Amino acid sequence: MSDTPPSDSPTARPRWRWPLILGTLVGAALLIGVGLGLGWYLFYRPIVNVAVQLPAPPPPPAPPGPDEKQVKALEDQIEKQKAANKQIEEQIAVLKERLKADVCTIKDPLGKDSGGKSTPNATPAPEGSLPGRKSDAGSTPGIVPAAASGRAGKSTAADLASALERATVLVVSPDGSSGSGFFVSSNIVVTNHHVVGDVPAGSEVLLVSKALKTPYIGQVLTTSPKSQGDFALIRADVPAGTTHPLPLAAEPAALGEVVAAGYPALAIAMDRDLRRLANGDLKAAPQVVLTKGSVSAVQNKDRGP
């Protein structure tokens, strides 16, 4: 038996190595495949977005309800305003109706018809309420002139109002028309020609005012021609001290303060005492209306006497 070393030829290698090599190759291929598959999955997998919905915030608190007391007060105020508006509308309607008629007309103020007889529907004045007819229309004796100046010292607004109320009268003519007049002496009243109308001297008119407290019958002394002004003079015998005659002042200056006193038809149309007077209550007299203003212009200053 000879000692011969093993041969290194391929045919001489052991056969058990081939399965090991083959298994290694297969394992490596599997690892590569798994890696590629995992990479492809991670790279191309669909991205899933998970939306988390937060709970809705709580609703804001409801505003406080209206105060019932305030609502009730507003409703009451609205109703009162509606009632006031309705009353004003009614008064406007009454004034419009009165303006359609002659608001200055007082039917048969002296209680006589055109023939001098008593009117059946007229309410006569109480016995002794009308003073006697003492004046003579044909002459003007006994005219007491007004004082040249008032009482000493500065008068107040109340003093002026009282003096104007005592100086102003409502003149009612026989045909029922009426207008304002004022005393320039203790027994002489100046009014407008259109108030007494085209009547002859001696015609009777009625003079009423709250200051007189009782009606007086005056007589028309004279009237100015229509082409020379709109004036009339009336004489009435009233007790001394009852009236406050107004002295005639100098011509006023522009922007000077003045006060108008009288009985404008529109202003006294709603006076209840005027309605009583129109219905025959000869002791009723409307309230005199006082209006304060200023002179806007003095026209025809160079007109002469």
pLDDT for res 56? 83
Q: Where are the alpha helices (DSSP H) in 138-257?
A: 157-167, 193-196
* pLDDT number for residue 247: 80
Instruction: Give the pLDDT score at 235.
Output: 93
What are the two backbone dihedrals, phi and then psi, of residue 32, each rounded to the nearest 5 degrees? -65, -40
pLDDT at 20: 78
**Each residue of 98-112: pLDDT tens digit?**
555 544 444 455 545
Phi, psi for residue 254 in degrees, rounded to 5: -60, 140
Query: Tell me, what's the pLDDT at 8?
Result: 54
282 closest CA partner among 178, 161, 165, 137: 178
pLDDT at residue 182 in the model: 93
Residue 69 lies in a domain: no
| Cα-based distances in Å from 284 to 106, 136, 210, 278 | 12, 27, 8, 9
205 lies in a domain? Answer: yes
Residues lower than pLDDT 50 in the chain: 1, 102-107, 111, 113-152
pLDDT score, position 12 = 54
DSSP code string of 23-82? HHHHHHHHHHHHHHHHHHHHHHSPPPP---PPPPPPPPPPPPPPPHHHHHHHHHHHHHHH
Contacts of 284 (CB under 8 A, 6+ apart): 208, 273, 274, 276, 277
Residue 127 lies in a domain: no
Q: Flag whether 139 is in a domain.
A: no
Question: Domain of 201?
Answer: 157-294
Evaluate whether residue 144 is within a structural domain. Answer: no
Structurally, how many domains does the chain consist of? Answer: 1
Per-residue confidence (pLDDT) for residue 31, from 0 to 100: 86
Q: What CATH number has the domain bearing residue 260?
A: 2.40.10.10
Does a structural domain hold residue 120?
no
In a domain, 264, yes or no: yes
Instruction: Say what the pLDDT of residue 117 is.
Output: 44
* Structural domain contains residue 33: no
Q: Output the pLDDT for position 40.
A: 76
